[in-house]
Amino acid sequence: MRVKTGIVRRRKHKKVLRAAKGFRAASGTVIKQAKQATMRAAAYSTRDRKVTKRRMRQLWIIRINAAARLNGLTYSTLINGLKKAGIVLDRKVLADIALNNAAEFAKLAETAKAAL
């Protein structure tokens, strides 16, 4: 007895085409190209989640360094001083304080200076 794949194949194809919705030209309509395009898109999205985290950390460090230099420190001396003072704040929080609350950041910088 022969097995027909009509329903199964149609479901698979519809799944691929839903994932490729919005892709340009044949990448959004032709099954073979849509499949390749979605695989490539998935690979890029996996890679770029890591890249986004990396870029955000770079941005935080730049902001912390700029604020530290306004207070007479460099980034590395500020981080070192905060560690020696026992202040455990991650870069995201430090960057937010530096951006939105300069007075509090100045106090942290003074604490870091005192710890060195």
pLDDT single digits (tens) 64-103? 999 999 999 999 999 999 999 999 999 999 999 999 999 9
Alpha-carbon span 21 to 27, nearest angstrom? 9
CATH number of residue 59's parent domain: 1.10.1900.20
- Domain count of the fold of the chain: 1
Q: What is the pTM of this model?
A: 0.76
Question: How many Cβ atoms sit within 10 Å of the Cβ of residue 33?
Answer: 15
Q: What is the pLDDT of residue 37?
A: 96
> Would the pLDDT of 116 be above 90?
no
Q: Which residues contact 43 (CB under 8 A, 6 or more apart)?
A: none
Residue 37 belongs to domain spanning: 5-115
Give the SS3 label for residue 53: helix
